[in-house]
Structure 1
Amino acid sequence: MDFSLTKEQKMIKEMVSDFAEKEIKPLAIELDRESKFSEHLFKRIGELGLLGIPFPEKYGGSGAGTIAYAIAVEEIGKVCGGTGLSYAAAVSLGSSPIYYFGTEEQKEQYLVPLAKGEGLASFGLTEPNAGSDAGGTQTKAELVGDEYVINGEKCWITNASYAKTITVTAVTGKDERGKNIISAIIVPAGTPGMTITSPYEKMGVRASNTSQIVLENVRVPKENILGDSRKGFKQFLYTLDGGRISIAALAVGLAQGAYEKALAYAKERKQFGKPISSFQAIQFKLADMAMEIELARNMVYKAAWLKDQGKPFAKESAFAKLYASEMAFRTCNQAIQIHGGYGYMREYEVERFLRDSKLLEIGEGTSEIQRLVIARQIGC
């Protein structure tokens, strides 16, 4: 779909691709092996203006829109799924809610430095007993005088250990029907009572920081409530709709990276006196991979375009996230198959792409949840 990209979008694609190839790719194996988040790379990502791509210039961004941002996610994901995930989460989940729902004062104080690349943001939604059932949030925030006092626990939170700003969801009361009111509250890093650890040993996306947050009598000014205190649940549903576009873009990037490795290997590897790319069994695998990647990319671009146009995009973002994540796992698996025994070895990297891709069927709404979202959108 390159032919339809604007000049600005093509420039962003070229710039991010060059950066990813020269600066991220050489570190990818080490970051995965050591389960290491690279502060150096994210400093560079900030310097290049990538953390502000979708936000208006008045808030420190470049105003390039969601398609350009999805392109950047794809290009980073093509070389390192973990770095791609942390980048996607910083923008879609960390900074975006402040842009969507924050007051002008909050945007000035928190969003501007984030969009300028002066720090990362994180979004604390998932809890040990409230993953897909986000309405089951147990973290509580009580208004005491002019402050919210927050108590609870969050798990599997991307970037929290390195974030400047963490937005957490918490129950702040009951509505007229007796249901929990869930609000989003901005908690600056270093706030007393907030303990962040990274105790997880993960299968994939190991270059991404994943943290546990414990909140014990954490006090923040009541002005830190994000938007309408009674609409936190709707706010994070909208945030997740946007985040699904970036996860789908990341899936396309991972699949593209694995496909390119498999194609190059098939042309070099000889069996029975011929390159294995001359065998129909391998050709059909590669043809299916190329076709499915292109289909997924077009779904990502459509959802991103709808979002940029201010049109409803919840169904399309679920389409894109579901199809692209499952496509990425299939494609990475086939890339290993084409490599044969070499594909099972870490140095050939396609096994890392498969491990990284699995998370995309789980995070930001499992495949099962995406099917529920789609079912509701089509009137079931």
Structure 2
Amino acid sequence: MIIELTKEQKMLQKEMQRFCKKELTPEYVAWMDENVNFPPQELWDKFNEIGYFRASIPEEYGGDGLSWVDLMLIQEPVFKASMSVGMAMGVNHAFGGPFIKHLGTEEQKREFLPKFAEGKLKTCMALTEPGGGTDILGALSTYAVEKDDRWVINGEKVFITGAHVADYMVVICKTEENESPSKSLSIFIVPAKSDGITISKIPKISCHHCDSVGITFKDVEIPKKNILGARGKGWYQLIDVLNPERIAVALMGIGLMQAIYDECLAYVKQRHAFGGPISRFQILQKYLADMAINIENARNLTYKAAWLCDHGRPYHVETNMAKVVAAEGAMNAAVYGAEIFGGYGICMEYPIQRYVRDTFQIQFSPISNEMARNVIMQFQGLPKSWS
């Protein structure tokens, strides 16, 4: 499937490439990886100045109302420069705007969407719990109980991206005691500075400048109006909002692969061994060719999934395929890249070690590659292999 980019889309893509080349230099990204747990506010402000945060917000609420294909074009260069920055800046596109846009009341939309468009709010989604990641229905135990004119939340979340800097959290809780798991969930907007919320750092090897943290909710009270969508229908609403997330995760893999490929292609041309450039070695050409093939396959699948999503067509199979191809392609590229660079591949002076670390983050997120394969075959008529 060939997606012909419009003149405007090509300009959008080039603009973002120029921005990333200027603002996300290798030296700056390396500094962030070593020194911060979230991109500095000054970088956030620069993204805001170019209209990054208003891109996905509908025009009637102060945004640009860009399509998913448009969003891919502006996010791919960011992921190539830094997966951590791409995640940190993209959380609002993935979780803030979409939840409010699709599930919010008109009052909620007018309260939150213009602020997202203006870059004034940071958000996160609190879904995953210690008992399980992909097994959302079986593991989720955070509970919200009605008390007079409030909801009271108790429970624990884990691996929540950007919660430590968020202004608001989108929190998924159980609300129905006697219903089946798929009919027991509800979604809430929770002010991140509410009494009873405790944030705990989770040290990890990947995406150092976009921390994932643990959250404990102890008798956290929020207004009753802070529910998003219909009570007890959260599972079905969640699926509709989260399916495009896999498109974004596939794009992370594409960005990583492209960054690794570019670094390795330049390196084999200038590195000499045994009397000449190592680019003449057949095995290294094979590694690079495999990277190029995986980049092309992943990009085609990902942009196809985004196009199908934009046009209201089924895209669940394609987005899971894209996630698997991009994630596994990124892992292979990272391993090949480390081998091409040899000893330098594990030295902090070179970016390859960061690519190796970062690629682990997308092997299991938002679901594992194995589970994505199960979903693909479920759409081919086979039973759920995990039930």
Task: Give TM-score, length-normalised by structure 1.
Answer: 0.95
1:32 aligns with 2:33: yes
Equivalent in the alignment of 2:325: 323
1:182 aligns with 2:185: yes
1:99-134 alpha-carbon deviations (Å, 9 max, x no partner): 121111111111221122122211000111131111
Equivalent in the alignment of 2:165: 162
State the one-letter code of the partner of 1:93. Answer: F
Equivalent in the alignment of 1:279: 281
SS in 1 for 2:170: strand
Task: Give TM-score, length-normalised by structure 2.
Answer: 0.93
- The 8 Å contact of residues 95 and 121 in structure 1, kept in 2 or not, is answered as no
Equivalent in the alignment of 2:377: 375
What pairs up with 1:1-380 in 2 under 5 angstroms? 4-25=4-25, 26-38=27-39, 39-135=41-137, 136-174=139-177, 181-197=184-200, 199-380=201-382
State the one-letter code of the partner of 1:15. Answer: E
After TM superposition, give the deviation of residue 35 of structure 1 in Å. 4.5
| Distance change in 2, residues 1:196/1:111 (3 Å) | farther
Counting aligned pairs with the same residue, the percent is 37
SS in 2 for 1:37: coil
Task: Measure, in 1, the Cα distance between the counterparts of 2:142 and 2:317.
Answer: 29
After TM superposition, give the deviation of residue 16 of structure 1 in Å. 1.7
1:222-255 alpha-carbon deviations (Å, 9 max, x no partner): 1111111121011222222111100101110011
Task: Measure, in 2, the Cα distance between the counterparts of 1:312 and 1:175.
Answer: 33
- The 8 Å contact of residues 53 and 61 in structure 1, kept in 2 or not, is answered as yes
Give the stretch that moved more between structures: 202-211 or 256-265: 202-211
Alignment size in residue pairs: 379
- The 8 Å contact of residues 91 and 121 in structure 1, kept in 2 or not, is answered as no
| Distance change in 2, residues 1:98/1:200 (3 Å) | same
SS in 1 for 2:81: coil
After TM superposition, give the deviation of residue 352 of structure 1 in Å. 0.5
SS in 2 for 1:235: helix
- The 8 Å contact of residues 193 and 216 in structure 1, kept in 2 or not, is answered as yes
1:135-182 alpha-carbon deviations (Å, 9 max, x no partner): 121100011122111111111101111112211000011455587610
After TM superposition, give the deviation of residue 186 of structure 1 in Å. 0.4
- The 8 Å contact of residues 287 and 336 in structure 2, kept in 1 or not, is answered as yes
- The 8 Å contact of residues 186 and 228 in structure 2, kept in 1 or not, is answered as yes
Task: Measure, in 2, the Cα distance between the counterparts of 1:118 and 1:87.
Answer: 12
SS in 2 for 1:4: coil
State the one-letter code of the partner of 1:145. Answer: D
CA RMSD of aligned residues (A): 1.8
SS in 2 for 1:203: coil
- The 8 Å contact of residues 182 and 233 in structure 1, kept in 2 or not, is answered as yes
After TM superposition, give the deviation of residue 77 of structure 1 in Å. 1.1
